[in-house]
Amino acid sequence: MLVKEVDAGRGVAPWVRPLVSSALGLGAVVAGAGALYQALAQARDQRRYPPPGRLVDVGGHRLHYLDMGMGGPTVVLDSGLGCSMLDWCYIQPEVARFTRVCAYDRAGYGWSEPGPKPRSARRIVDELLTMLRRGGIPGPYVLVGHSLGGLHMQLFARLHPELVAGLVLVDASPFDQRQHVPRPARARWLQQQLRWQLFCWSSPLLARLGMVRLQKRLQRPKTGPMRYPAAVQPIAEAQRLRSRAFDWTFGEARAIERSEEEVRTAPAFPPVPLIVLAAENSSSGAIQQLWLQLQSEQALLSPESSLRIVKQSGHFIQIDQPASVIQAIRDIVSSISSQTSSSPSRGGAGV
């Protein structure tokens, strides 16, 4: 039997193929132009805003940190998911008035270079410790972590208690928060997670094609990271519009469950001074009540701890109510200084 070849284009109007080819060609040109626009804009931003601190190699990539002040114990600041050391712009200069304080960018954020994956808490803690050692920043440390950064700092304290003098958790992520989401709110929570995953998957590509930057330029009125001081806003905006900014946010987001498990299975929390700051308006409804309950449970981690509810503040307490964070750090430092003066053998750990 004679088998006839099937014409894949049979039944398609003759004008369709050229139209599709033209559309694909135009799309390629637009994508290329967008990528070039993004690359040139990023290069300009890098020249405008060089690193304010130092870059230290931690094993194949470098982390950026800014060290201010004198004395001890040294305060170490870690930011939340997707955020850089700029989140501490209201805190660090004030803390530097009474002790040494170091703010840093995790790998891929701010001025730090990208690091190996997965970006779980254990890897982040190891890199932070290497940075402190190679940067010549001695302990003992007062660890201050916001949101996901609080999860990292809690793991640091559990793994290296001899280096930790105290902690301040700033509306920090509890390691067991997913297990406590109530059933009525679970569907809404899952929807939020799906939207977040879609955003994280699409944003890196859109950023590389210049679409995120172009959208920002076309916005009227312009919006931006207005929570920062005027001098810091353009720097934060430049960081937010980088191609890689979304990559590392997504990398840490994907590793959150692993990070929580690393904290859950780590050694016990050390008996050091601990202040837990919880935002009064971090969320709403049942989720907010659950959040405050989990924050109160975190305040039970140490026998020397307290919970402070920060009124008129959202999740970013260090931006909305910076005085509360500064006071908490001061209280921890004063407590450590008092204990050190009464017991010379306490503290003094180095790296």
Write the pLDDT tens digit of every residue in 65-87.
Answer: 999 999 989 999 999 998 999 99
Q: Does residue 298 contact residue 145 with C-beta atoms inside 8 Å?
A: no
Phi, psi at 102, each rounded to 5°: -125, 120
The single residue listed with the structure tokens 């971090």 is 282
Beta bridge partners of 275: 168, 306
- Second-level CATH architecture of 55-181+256-341: 3-Layer(aba) Sandwich (3.40)
d(CA 268, CA 257): 19
Query: What residue segments make up the domains of the chain, in order of their start?
Result: 55-181+256-341, 183-248
d(CA 70, CA 76): 13
Beta bridge partners of 287: none
Asked if residue 221 has pLDDT above 50, the reply is no
d(CA 114, CA 256): 18
pLDDT digit string (tens) for 31-60? 566 556 566 666 676 778 899 999 999 999
| CB burial of residue 350 (10 Å; 0-12, 13-18, 19+) | exposed
Q: Does residue 135 contact residue 67 with C-beta atoms inside 8 Å?
A: yes
DSSP assigned state of 59: S
The residue with greater pLDDT, 153 or 194, is 153
Q: What is the pTM of this model?
A: 0.80
d(CA 260, CA 204): 25
DSSP assigned state of 161: G
pLDDT digit string (tens) for 110-127? 999 999 999 999 999 999
pLDDT band of residue 4 (cuts 50, 70, 90) is very low
Asked if residue 23 has pLDDT above 60, the reply is no
pLDDT digit string (tens) for 290-332? 888 999 999 999 999 999 999 999 999 999 999 999 999 999 9
Number of H helices, E strands in the chain: 12, 8
Return the percentage of the chain with pLDDT > 70, whole number: 68
**The pair of three-digit structure tokens given for residue 229, joined into one six-digit string:** 């001081």
pLDDT at residue 247 in the model = 72
SS3 string, 255-290, reads: CHHHHHHHHHCCCCCCCCCEEEEEECCCCCHHHHHH
pLDDT digit string (tens) for 261-295? 999 999 999 999 999 999 998 776 777 888 889 99
Strands 274-279 and 101-105: unpaired
Asked if residue 1 has pLDDT above 50, the reply is no
**What strand order describes the sheet that includes 274-279?**
54-57, 62-68, 101-105, 74-78, 141-146, 164-170, 274-279, 305-310
pLDDT at residue 350 in the model = 60
pLDDT at residue 288 in the model = 81
Nearest to 318 by CA among 229, 245, 206: 229
Q: Other C-beta atoms within 10 Å of 154: how many? A: 26
| CB burial of residue 153 (10 Å; 0-12, 13-18, 19+) | buried
pLDDT at residue 211 in the model = 56
Q: Other C-beta atoms within 10 Å of 332: how many? A: 25
Q: Other C-beta atoms within 10 Å of 117: how many? A: 15
Q: Does residue 145 contact residue 154 with C-beta atoms inside 8 Å?
A: yes
Contacts of residue 39, Cβ cutoff 8 Å, sequence gap at least 6: none
d(CA 237, CA 235): 5
What is the end-to-end Cα distance of the chain in Å, rounded? 83
Q: Does residue 144 contact residue 276 with C-beta atoms inside 8 Å?
A: no
